[in-house]
Homo-oligomer: A and B are copies of this chain.
């Protein structure tokens, strides 16, 4: 059995697949081209030949999935609006269109599955500027259209408020995907694949939470969180100053 038989795809695709997985596992800065080319069993120089460099590889990894996602999200919203007879779609349908499309990708290995969900969940807060910039650019058009759809669907809610809630929904979703499972509830997809069944249950829970948050009453601008917030904003820190006793030796 040749080593090529172990690898279903060509060099370029193997690099993309392994890169995607390792970028998730170790982060962009924590992943070296040697790690990628080693696992993909291709030559070190192949990355530079096919993509032009490490950043360009990351860009290709993200775009491969985002192009599909953007297209799909646009199409689903198109259908939603077309089915409305001139009426704007209901808010929960828009939530479903935007976030359901994403979560659904987790069940589809051809679309990156859980690996991609985790990658996208973490990329929003990447310390690497070019990653955030790329995401902003790739998301801009679609997010703008969905934001407008939410605004149309919620005529009584101020635009600013809608935008914030969109941001909160993105956060809740991204974290559920990025998976810091220290709450012991988080989906264990360290073992590579999350069963379709579990993904569906995650989705139904997340969906319920998001819609609940979206429908929350408009906050009172003058609300002052009485206790906790005020305490924390005025407390003094116990700096790592010398131990009690004024610095005198014991």
Contacts and interface: CB of A to CB of B under 8 A. Distances in A.
A235 B96 contact: no
Contacts of A98: 228
Contact of A104 (B26, B100, B172, B229): B229
A238 interface: yes
Interface string A131-166: 010011001100100010000000000001101111
B216 A27 contact: no
Contact of A183 (B16, B163, B225, B230): B163
Contact of A225 (B16, B104, B171): B104
A175 to B, nearest CB: 3
A223 interface: yes
Interface residues of A, number: 107
A25 interface: yes
A48 B232 CA distance: 32
A205 B171 contact: no
A7 interface: no
A180 interface: yes
A46 interface: no
A185 B172 contact: no
A30 interface: yes
> Which residue among A102, A136, A140, A228 has the maximum number of chain B CB atoms within 10 Å of its CB?
A228
Contact of A212 (B100, B176, B213): B213
Contacts of A227: 76, 79, 96-97, 100
Interface of A: 9, 12-13, 16, 24-27, 29-30, 64, 68, 72, 76, 79, 96-98, 100-108, 110-111, 121-122, 124-128, 132, 135-136, 139-140, 143, 147, 160-161, 163-176, 178-180, 182-186, 196, 200-201, 203-221, 223-240
